Amino acid sequence: MNIDKIIEDQRSFFNNGNTLTLKFRIDALNKLKESILYYENDIYTALDKDLNKSRLESYLTEIQMVLSEIKLTTKKLKRWMKPKRVSPGILNFPSKALIKPDPYGVALIISPWNYPFQLLFSPLVGAIAGGNTVLLKPSEISVATTEVSEKIIKRAFDPEYIAVLTGGVEVTTQLLSNKTDYIFFTGSTPVGKIVATAAARHLTPFTLELGGKSPCIIDKEVNLNRAVKRIVWGKLLNGGQTCVAPDYIYIHKDIKKTFIQKFIQFTTEFYGDNPISSNNYCKIISENHFKRLVNLLDDGQIVYGGESNKESLKINPTLIENCSDDSPIMVNEIFGPIFPIKTFENIEEVPVYIRKQGKPLALYIFSKNRKNIEYILNRTTSGGVSINDTISHLIPHDLPFGGVGESGNGAYHGYESFNTFTHSKSILKKGDFDPKLKFPPYSNEHKTI
């Protein structure tokens, strides 16, 4: 695999103007859809192999999300591509001022293993819509999905337009040392820093979709039954390996006991008495990740769960309490089915603690008290928020999805994906007339305009 040559070929393909028309981009999106549907069964098999993900969960959280992005984009692209007229200002009279969404050129998309299909293909939809050529670098850890992703791309596109580059850190490092025109990275915060540093060397614009600790706050005034049902779903989806999974429970001390009872009730309802034997319950991606998670079980007192199976790489949903604030489980993103419980007495304590951990990717508030909800919303910064639910703010196409500070930079989904993969070029087209006062020699007297 000659990375320099692939980049060079893509650059000439772009510079020759191949990707500029609406027709070319719509055709490409249709080809992508056709190829995804052609390999649909292979995608399910791959996701089952990598994560033991059920067919329905795979459809809803991976395939459907990409197909609906393609559907929306093909419908709206003509309008999105149209230059927007704005006021040129009186000094420019007569003239036209336009904002034209311009493709960047060669875009590099680097993706992680946890939603290995969706997180590779969803940004790709935006990059195609924006008129870029694309280098895709999927995760080396989700081996089966990476294999089928490569087949999907090869069936639909030539590498001078869209190419998949497989491999680990060495391949990403080589890609990052080259000059590309846009970098879209999804992954961990530490690797995000490496990507941002590499981008700075060439002053390449970038988006970082990172992780972190997303708190799940449960106020005393709450419908606890409904709240816990939604929390169990959001935490255990993909085996807890979701960037916006509620990371830890931050609950009013008076309702902690009932929370624990209800957590057990819903977990059992969804996955049976022993979730690690359920086909609906995902496994941990690799032995290394499994070991890391099992070590976290020593960071507090287990109140529910804690069992694991080394062969199937599964860990039962676990509640753990009395974890010290400086223990690894309370400092690092958990990214697995382990839930530490922390309590508060007064709502005022909540934002103070959350702010100490950096800016979360997602923040969840379960409460019936509007004042308390507002209090937390106004005193914390996070990429996004779901109130009285988990994960759901990711679903609407019109809500940009992204982090802030430690949890990321930039956003995508729907129009925001197109916006991310295009540069807003300002164009002023001047008419024949020039006002006299524009040119020297200047008079000392003038009117205020």
Nearer Cβ to ligand NAD, position 29 or 245? 245
Among 130, 211, 300, 400, interactor with ligand NAD by CB under 6 A: 211
Distance CA 203, CA 179 (A): 9
> Is 235 among the residues that bind ligand NAD (CB under 6 A)?
no
- 19 or 417, CB closer to ligand NAD? 417
Sign of CA dihedral 263, 269, 271, 274: positive
> Could you tell me if 402 and 383 are in contact, meaning their C-beta atoms sit under 8 angstroms apart?
yes
Rounded CA separation 439/433 (Å): 13
Query: In angstroms, what is the minimal distance from the CB of 290 to ligand NAD?
Result: 13
Q: Do 381 and 359 meet the contact criterion of CB atoms below 8 Å apart?
A: yes
* Window of 33-41, 206-214, 249-257, 292-300 that interacts with ligand NAD by CB under 6 A: 206-214
Is residue 217 within 8 Å of residue 365, measured between CB atoms?
yes
**Region of 331 on the Ramachandran plot (φ > 0 left; ψ -120 to 50 alpha; else beta):** alpha
Choose, from 216, 243, 282, 323, the residue flagged as catalytic.
243
Neighbours of 355 (CB within 10 A): 13
Residue in 209, 333, 406, 416 annotated catalytic: 209
Minimum CB separation from ligand NAD for residue 116, in Å? 9
243 is catalytic: yes
Using CB under 6 A as the binding rule, the residues of this chain from 346 to 385 that contact ligand NAD are 361
The torsion region of residue 313 among left (phi > 0), alpha (psi -120 to 50) and beta comes to left
Tokens of 418: 């197109």
Binding mask 156-195 for ligand NAD (x = CB under 6 A): ------------xx--xx------------xxx--x--x-
Token look-up 């970082």 returns: 208
Site for ligand NAD contains 416 (CB under 6 A): no
Contacts of 74 (CB under 8 A, 6+ apart): 26, 29, 30
Question: Tokens 């311009």, residue?
Answer: 102
Question: Please, which residue, 67 or 108, has the CB nearer to ligand NAD?
Answer: 108
| Contact map string, positions 75 to 114, toward ligand NAD, x by CB under 6 A | -----------------------------------xxxxx
- Which residues are CB-neighbours of 90 under 8 A, at least 6 positions away? 449
Task: Verify whether residue 323 is a known catalytic residue.
Answer: no
User: Judged by CB, which is closer to ligand NAD: 142, or 380?
Assistant: 142
The residues that touch ligand NAD, with contacts defined as CB under 6 A, are 110-114, 119, 137, 139-140, 168-169, 172-173, 186-188, 191, 194, 209-211, 243, 333, 335, 361, 403, 408
Q: Which residues are catalytically annotated?
A: 209, 243
